[in-house]
Amino acid sequence: MMQSTLLRRIAPTLTRRALSSNAAEASSVMTLNFNLPHETIYNGATVSQVIVPGAAGEYGVTADHVPVVAQLKAGVLQIMHESAGEPEKYFVPGGFSITHDNSVTDISCPEAVKVDDIDPAAVSSNFEAARNAYTAAEAGSAAQAEAMVDMEVYRSMGSAVGINLS
C-alpha cells in the first residue's frame, strides 16, 4: 500500500490509468467542493488540480484520480484553476479530504485562511510565544503538548508565507 502510494506520486499518469476503475471517460477537469463549518468556499467548482496536505504527505488530485480518503495536517491547500496562473493557496489546520471515483473531491476543514492574508510578523511572534510556553512547561504535561502542536502549526504557516522558523 505504501509502495503503491509512492509509485503513484512518482509516476502519476501510468499508475493512475491502470488503477482507475472508470477509465472510460478522461475528462481534464475535476470538481471541487471545499466546505468550512460556517461557509462554503467552493461548491461544484471545476478546477484542474488540487494539492492536498495529507497527514501522510502532500498529494495532488487531478481528474480521474483514484478514490482516496485522507486526514489532513496543518499545511497549505493549493487549488490550480483551469485558467493557468498562480495557484490559489489556503492554509488549513487540519480536516479531511475525500476523492470520489467520479472526479469529485470534497474537502472539509474546520478553518481556512488565504495565505495572502497571513501576517508574517504575527506568525513569528506567535511562534516565539509558543516556543517559550514549550520550554516553560513541565515535561510530559498537557501544556507542553499544546505548545508543541502550536509550534508545529506556526512552523508550517511560516513556511507557507516564506519565513523559516525553527
Partner 1 sequence: MRFFCVAAALATASAFTTSPAAFTTISPSVGERSVNNVFADNSAHRTRKATIVMDGKANAIRDRITSVKNTRKITMAMKLVAAAKVRRAQDAVLATRPFSETLQSVFGGLIERLGGEAAELPLLTQRDVKKVTIVVITGDRGLCGGYNSFMIKKAEKRYNELKAAGVDADMVLIGKKGITYFQRRKFPIRKTFETGQNPDSKQALAISEELLNTFLSGETDAVELLYTKFVSLIASTPSIRTLVPFSASEISQKGDEVFQLTSGNGDFEVERKELDVAEPQEFPNDMIFEQDPLQIVNSILPLYLNGQILRTLQESVASELAARMQSMQSASDNAGSLAKDLSMQYNRARQAAVTQEILEIVSGAQALE
Q: Which residues bind partner 1 (CB under 8 A)?
A: 1, 5, 19, 21, 33, 35-40, 43, 54-56, 59, 66-71, 94-96, 98, 101, 106, 108, 110-111, 142
Kindly provide the residue ranges of all beta strands, DSSP E only, lying in the chain, ordered along the sequence. 30-35, 40-54, 57-61, 68-72, 75-81, 88-92, 95-99, 104-108, 113-114
CA neighbours closer than 13 Å in the CB half-sphere of residue 90: 24
Which one, 115 or 149, has the nearer CB to partner 1? 149
Give the nearest distance from C-beta 123 to partner 1 in angstroms.
Answer: 17
Rounded-to-5 percentages of helix, strand, coil across the chain = 35, 35, 35
Which one, 30 or 70, has the nearer CB to partner 1? 70
Give the nearest distance from C-beta 44 to partner 1 in angstroms.
Answer: 10
Which one, 107 or 165, has the nearer CB to partner 1? 107
Query: Residue 166: what residue type?
Result: S
